[in-house]
């Protein structure tokens, strides 16, 4: 049983792919690069392909099908980077490999705290040996209302974590969870826009919620609102966010994800001119913390997604029930 593994990082994933493939009796064909129309032939003879967040469009899906690929698994929770319509057209099943919620939840809380305590400015000053206090006065989380949009595993964990800080928590999801009731109150989005001092996003990206945070919804928010996104970049209209930051409508932002990040993150671009002007502006602002889609990245996550993606492939090839198959 053969699996073609793309985007395999040699410094953290390689040893676990070797360990778990041996345990599962799988043979791997590995590639450190994202799949493209040139290296797709590496997947010939492999019923399954294992990727991360690289975009898989119709052309690439067709090429995989021509190589005999029948199953595509992504080592991520989200799978909006995969053209599911094309997958159905070419008869390729799709799976994901969800990791535990704690890593992203921890990171989201960290970004909230960094934002309300103006940590980016503090660190910049400290690096320049500027030890003055003017302009870096923060707020305490217990005095704030936090709106959590999306109460899946990660959103619920964020709510549980935040409950220890004593803040008021409002929640929104199209599917309400009884686990939330002890710590947060479900409300319509309109109340989150109106009442939240901090808004943190934990929802998948869909056609319905693309640019959920936009010029119109920002206008309905409290002045000085803090926005944190560890979910998907497309949930926020970057241009609208920049305008709101410049006008001080938004007081701060913590962004682990941004629009147009595919092909950018996880690569060394220090000598390149990037085609992402909005990212450059966001990075330049003293009240915006930007990291490169790594909230998930913990030792536990690496082992979990490698193992589960390979287990998913094995179950598919054996024709058994596959809890990781999504389409």
Total residues belonging to the chain: 327
Burial degree of 210 (CB within 10 A; 0-12, 13-18, 19+): middle
**Placement of tokens 């309400």 in the chain:** 176
Whether the CB-CB separation of 40 and 26 falls below 8 Å is answered with no
Residue of 156, 261, 301, 311 marked catalytic = 261
Burial degree of 275 (CB within 10 A; 0-12, 13-18, 19+): exposed
Whether the CB-CB separation of 86 and 112 falls below 8 Å is answered with no
Residue of 75, 153, 156, 293 marked catalytic = 293
Distances (CA, A) of 136 to 14, 115, 126, 245: 43, 11, 12, 17
Count other Cβ atoms within 10 Å, centred on residue 267. 10
| 293 assigned to active site | yes
Whether the CB-CB separation of 186 and 180 falls below 8 Å is answered with yes
- Provide φ and ψ at 169, rounded to 5°: -125, 125
| 292 assigned to active site | no
Residue of 13, 232, 259, 301 marked catalytic = 232
Whether the CB-CB separation of 1 and 47 falls below 8 Å is answered with yes
Active site residues: 232, 261, 293
């Amino acid at each position: 049983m053969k699996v073609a593994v793309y985007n395999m990082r040699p410094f953290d994933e390689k040893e676990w792919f070797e360990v778990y493939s041996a345990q599962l009796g799988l043979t791997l064909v590995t590639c450190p690069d994202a799949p493209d129309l040139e290296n797709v032939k590496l997947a010939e003879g492999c019923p399954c392909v294992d990727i991360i967040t690289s975009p898989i469009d119709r052309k690439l899906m067709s090429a995989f099908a021509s190589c005999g690929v029948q199953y595509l698994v992504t080592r991520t929770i989200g799978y909006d980077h995969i053209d599911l319509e094309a997958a159905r057209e070419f008869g390729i099943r799709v799976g994901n490999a969800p990791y535990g919620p704690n890593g992203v939840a921890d990171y989201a809380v960290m970004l909230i705290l960094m934002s309300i305590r103006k940590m980016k400015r503090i660190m910049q000053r400290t690096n320049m040996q500027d030890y003055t206090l003017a302009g870096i006065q923060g707020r305490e989380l217990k005095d704030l209302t936090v709106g959590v949009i999306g109460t899946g595993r990660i959103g619920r964990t964020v709510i549980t974590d935040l409950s220890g800080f004593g803040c008021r928590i409002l929640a929104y999801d199209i599917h309400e969870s009884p686990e939330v009731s002890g710590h947060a109150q479900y409300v319509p989005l309109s109340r989150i826009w109106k009442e939240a001092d901090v808004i943190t996003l934990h929802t998948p990206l869909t056609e319905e919620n693309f640019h959920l945070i936009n010029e119109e919804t920002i206008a309905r928010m409290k002045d000085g609102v803090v926005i944190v996104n560890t979910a998907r970049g497309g949930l926020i209209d970057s241009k609208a966010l920049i305008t709101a930051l410049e006008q001080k409508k938004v007081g701060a932002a913590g962004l682990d994800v941004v629009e147009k990040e595919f092909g950018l993150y996880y690569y060394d671009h220090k000598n390149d001119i990037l085609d992402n002007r909005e990212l450059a502006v966001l990075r330049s602002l003293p009240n915006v913390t930007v990291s490169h889609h790594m909230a998930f990245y913990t030792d536990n996550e690496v082992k979990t997604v490698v193992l589960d993606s390979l287990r998913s492939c094995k179950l598919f090839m054996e024709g058994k029930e596959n809890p990781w198959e999504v389409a």
